[in-house]
Structure 1
Amino acid sequence: MQTSIRTRSGMQKGQITKYRPFAPVDLPDRQWPSRQITTAPTWCSVDLRDGNQALPIPMNVEEKIALFTLLVELGFKEIEVGFPSASQTEFEFMRRLIDEQRIPDDVTIQVIVQAKENLIRRTFESLRGAKKAIVHLYNSTSEQQRRIVFGLDRSAIVDIAVRGAKLIKQLVATMPETQFILEYSPESFTLTELDFSLEICEAVVDVWQPTLENKIILNLPATVEVATPNVHADQIEWFCRHLRDRSTAIVSLHTHNDRGSGVAASEMGLLAGAERVEGTLFGNGERTGNVDLVTLALNMYSQGVDPRLDFSNIGTICKTYEACTRMEVSVRHPYAGELVFTAFSGSHQDAINKGMTAQARSEKDLWDVPYLTIDPRDIGRSYEAIIRINSQSGKGGVAYLMESEFGYQLPKAMHIEFGKVVKELSDQRGGEISSTELYHAFEQEYLARNTPLALRSFESRNVIDANKAELVDCVAYLTCNGREYEIRAQGNGPIDAFVRAINQQQLATFTLCSYHEHAIGDGAETQAVAYIQIETEAGLFFGAAVDTNIESASIKAVISAVNRATAPAR
């Protein structure tokens, strides 16, 4: 076995003695792995309390009101608005919500308080006049906290919780105009022995005496995330199984993200029997943050479950959140980030392009596009940002943007050709190419190819030859390297006649390989787009042109292709 090496700083090597694995829960008949989430939990936002206390610059009253308003608009029915006994700002915010009647009838405010008499009494002062309120009582219960912080045994910790619950029950009786719900949290539940968590919660339940009509909320916080999400689920299922009078309690989750799995821990906790989740928008909170309710809710949505929260305008939500908290939503943040519906990789772009095309043709409602777990439009995002171009991008992404943003339906064979042009440009720039730059590259490469050939005019008319076959006779005036030419020829159509005329005049030697056309725009603004592919000794080349007349667009596209074949480098 490799020997552990201890140094003054840096990680241990080999056998790690500084840390130990978290002990698993003895639950061999666990049920949660075979369950599915089929309904949304009760959501409680703690942005204004847990989120606010983690900010380098806490929100002022006006910012808290703005964020509270947003939370109500999103559909939160329970909102922890603060710690009114902790500061005058928190107290004033609570009073403004009540005095200015900012709390909708279907929203219940929640306040948190430690199990200390003076803080509990101050909390009730802040709540006077509220129609409904959840009083969230908590105290630390873990062995670590008992040993290091408080120096108390189990019975003393239980006594703290019981005294707090009794005082709250007494004060509730003095405010009959308010409907109260008690919430109790054994802080650091995941680090507390399960039997002790059960013991202290049931002691509080015995004081409160909940009923089916007035349930108690038992909130089981992963105050510090210390184990894998499956262990958290085992803890929740064990607690739910052993809790006395389970039907009179609402089991609530409050996960943090120290190990980066707060969302997964909450999802598994719901499978294990919890009915309620506390968290924050975008995971703001102490250290690595609370569970992100945006991600958690939209994960459910992506599985066909109505989350009962409305994130239809995620851009506005991000702006309000950032303005109030001075925090930034990462560009890679699930669902909400600027780049999460964006593909730079060529193979991904091609798959998305094909998926979007198939989705548009499908008569089914089911979303089925590679790499996109939900339809960006559902949360107020546009398809314009799905594909962005850099040196790693491929032909599919380039073609998708040309069609989705500018209406150009490039022929499939043209995807490769123009994709190479864009890749070279991106390599030269050393970064991402914007949609505007993409169109400019297309314009310069195809639409603005006016040398060495430049068309002055083109006319065609139908004629009957000696064999009584219908042909098209064309005459064109153009310049080549500054010299003027009049060229004539007959062919099966205007394009064929023009190609023959150029070849006969020996201005260029090529054959026509393919032709594509489509309309772009609507109504009086409609224009025709033509794509011509030719073959010369140097290879295959596309040309493209736009005109209000399809014949003119086609002739100009031939000129574009010939000019690109003559001088392909630009």
Structure 2
Amino acid sequence: MLHDPKRVYVFDTTLRDGEQVPGCQLSTSEKIEIARELEALGVDIIEAGFPVSSPGDFQSVVEISKAVRNPTVCALTRANKGDIDAAVESLKYARHPRIHTGIGSSDMHIKHKFNSTREEILERAVEAVKYAKKSVEDIEFYAEDAGRADIHYLAQMVEAVIAAGATVVNIPDTNGYCLPNQYGDKIKFLKESVKNIDNAIISVHCHNDLGLATANSIAGLQAGARQIEGTINGIGERAGNTSIEEVVMILKTHQQQIDLFTNINTKNIYEISRMVSTQMRMPVQPNKAIVGGNAFAHSSGIHQDGFLKNRENYEIIKPEDVGFPSASIVLTARSGRHALKFHLERLGIKPDKAELDEAYKNFLTLADSKLNITDADLLSLVDSDKFVS
């Protein structure tokens, strides 16, 4: 299969890994609604669920397969025939089906999760890929806990599963352990050392336990990975997954330096962020990058002054690029005259310098005691009758 070497495929696991957050279970109809928005967003792969885990998850994969046309629909399995059979059955309506199977690759998982040996785990990995390949052409293999795996054993495993038919190899930092340079070096080593690596796409799947999921994902892409796995709003197990909107906007903002692109329609980002937040009953923290309520809010006087002179002084992304309603100048006790003048003019009031100085003095007194400054408050600062034409 030929791929544009600059293209990054976006694999969304909001409906699988994202839904593993306690209290965030979705109904099938809610999943379908989100899946359709993911399709409109332009994601390449939707991981629709873990079919063997429950009848509800199985049915969700079936219905999502019917509901979307363009994205690949992916079903997760462990490395055993029962899981794979359930996944194959759930994907029977998918236009572009993918099985995502795998097993632990770190000695920690091999010894303490599977009570096994490297040799036995390698054999199980190969068997799972071969078995899945009998039913579905597109097979992604995940080497769980690759972030802590021995690099030479990981390379051996990756080479073996590609030889068995894997089209994508997922190198998860399952516990969010790696530093960006460590993770990037791991991807680089696989790219340079696995002889058949060009027969598959390398995928990065990073968790955020140390707050490094996005940084690690970017490091992996720079080292040669061409698929990014993550969730909307960065939701997921424990501290969450890589935030898709962050990676997408990093690539767009640094197009010249990184020279990679996705097919994401970035203007849909804010809308789907709000939908996922509402459906999963998970508020987005105000200071969340790209989609947080304060992502484009300016409250410091120095920042406000610079922004009003030229928005690029303090904005590297335009709100409209991600579908955000607009940038805002928030009035607080730290705001300056320029911001107050901006809001008064917005209300049709154009004070001269003396009037602005007096209004600003009164404003600071008010802002020290009141959290939210309203338009009515602003009008009370000036003789608004004087400005009525």
Q: TM-score, normalised by structure 1?
A: 0.64
1:397 corresponds to: 339
Q: 1:71, CA displacement in angstroms?
A: 0.5
Q: 1:147, CA displacement in angstroms?
A: 2.1
Q: 1:447 aligns with which of 352, 368, 384?
A: 384
**Partner AA of 1:253 in structure 2:** V
Q: 1:184 aligns with which of 130, 141, 148?
A: 141
2:367 corresponds to: 426
- 1:281-328: CA deviation from partner (whole Å, max 9, x where unpaired): 010110100000011112222234754212325543233112221111
CA contact (8 A) 1:236 1:274 kept: yes
1:130 corresponds to: 94
**Corresponding residue SS for 1:56:** coil
Q: Find the aligned partners of 2:230 and 2:337 in 1 and give their Cα distance.
A: 42
Aligned residue runs from structure 1 range 362-441, under 5 A:
369-383=312-326, 385-403=327-345, 405-411=346-352, 415-429=356-370, 431-434=371-374, 436-441=375-380
2:387 corresponds to: 545
CA contact (8 A) 1:396 1:415 kept: no
**Which deviates more, 407-416 or 187-196?**
407-416
Q: TM-score, normalised by structure 2?
A: 0.92
Q: 1:227, CA displacement in angstroms?
A: 2.7
CA contact (8 A) 2:30 2:279 kept: yes
Aligned residue runs from structure 1 range 262-281, under 5 A:
262-281=213-232
Residue 254 in structure 1 maps to residue 194 in structure 2: no
CA contact (8 A) 1:343 1:349 kept: yes
Residue 161 in structure 1 maps to residue 128 in structure 2: no
Aligned residue runs from structure 1 range 66-85, under 5 A:
66-85=33-52
Residue 232 in structure 1 maps to residue 183 in structure 2: yes
CA contact (8 A) 1:51 1:285 kept: yes
2:283 corresponds to: 328
2:237 corresponds to: 286
Q: 1:202 aligns with which of 159, 165, 168?
A: 159
Q: Find the aligned partners of 2:184 and 2:10 in 1 and give their Cα distance.
A: 18
Q: 1:127, CA displacement in angstroms?
A: 1.8
- 1:25-46: CA deviation from partner (whole Å, max 9, x where unpaired): xxxxxxxxxxxxx955110101
- 1:525-567: CA deviation from partner (whole Å, max 9, x where unpaired): xxxxxxxxxxxxxxxxxxx5231xxxxxxxxxxxxxxxxxxxx
Q: Find the aligned partners of 2:36 and 2:156 in 1 and give their Cα distance.
A: 38
Aligned residue runs from structure 1 range 45-56, under 5 A:
45-56=12-23
- 1:66-107: CA deviation from partner (whole Å, max 9, x where unpaired): 111111111112111111111100111122234xx3121x22
Q: 1:50, CA displacement in angstroms?
A: 0.7
Q: 1:342, CA displacement in angstroms?
A: 1.1
Structure 2 unmatched ranges of 5 or more: none
2:263 corresponds to: 308
CA contact (8 A) 1:134 1:183 kept: yes
Structure 1 340/97 Cα, relative in aligned 2: closer, same or farther at 3 Å?
closer
- 1:426-476: CA deviation from partner (whole Å, max 9, x where unpaired): 1232x1313x2343234xx2224xxxxxxxxxxxxxxxxxxxxxxxxxxxx
Q: Which has the higher strand share?
A: 1
- 1:188-240: CA deviation from partner (whole Å, max 9, x where unpaired): 111100111111111112222x6xxxxx1011001111132111111111111
Q: Find the aligned partners of 2:313 and 2:201 in 1 and give their Cα distance.
A: 39
Q: 1:380, CA displacement in angstroms?
A: 3.0
Q: 1:169, CA displacement in angstroms?
A: 2.5
**Which deviates more, 38-47 or 193-202?**
38-47
Q: 1:103 aligns with which of 60, 63, 68?
A: 68
Q: Find the aligned partners of 1:413 and 1:296 in 2 and give their Cα distance.
A: 48
Structure 1 227/77 Cα, relative in aligned 2: closer, same or farther at 3 Å?
closer
Corresponding pairs, count = 381
Q: 1:337, CA displacement in angstroms?
A: 1.0
CA contact (8 A) 2:110 2:116 kept: yes
CA contact (8 A) 1:331 1:340 kept: yes
**Corresponding residue SS for 2:157:** helix
**Corresponding residue SS for 1:340:** coil
Q: Which has the higher helix share?
A: 2
Q: 1:329, CA displacement in angstroms?
A: 1.0
Residue 64 in structure 1 maps to residue 31 in structure 2: yes
**Corresponding residue SS for 1:80:** strand
Larger Rg: 1
Q: 1:347 aligns with which of 297, 302, 318?
A: 302
Q: Find the aligned partners of 1:333 and 1:439 in 2 and give their Cα distance.
A: 29
Structure 1 314/419 Cα, relative in aligned 2: closer, same or farther at 3 Å?
farther
1:221 corresponds to: 172
Structure 1 unmatched ranges of 5 or more: 1-37, 173-179, 211-215, 357-368, 449-543, 548-570
CA contact (8 A) 1:84 1:122 kept: yes
**Partner AA of 1:351 in structure 2:** G
Residue 241 in structure 1 maps to residue 192 in structure 2: yes
- 1:155-193: CA deviation from partner (whole Å, max 9, x where unpaired): 011011112122112334xxxxxxx21111110111100
**Corresponding residue SS for 1:138:** strand
Structure 1 261/416 Cα, relative in aligned 2: closer, same or farther at 3 Å?
farther
User: Percent of aligned positions with the same letter in both sequences?
Assistant: 27
Structure 1 170/39 Cα, relative in aligned 2: closer, same or farther at 3 Å?
closer
**Partner AA of 2:372 in structure 1:** E
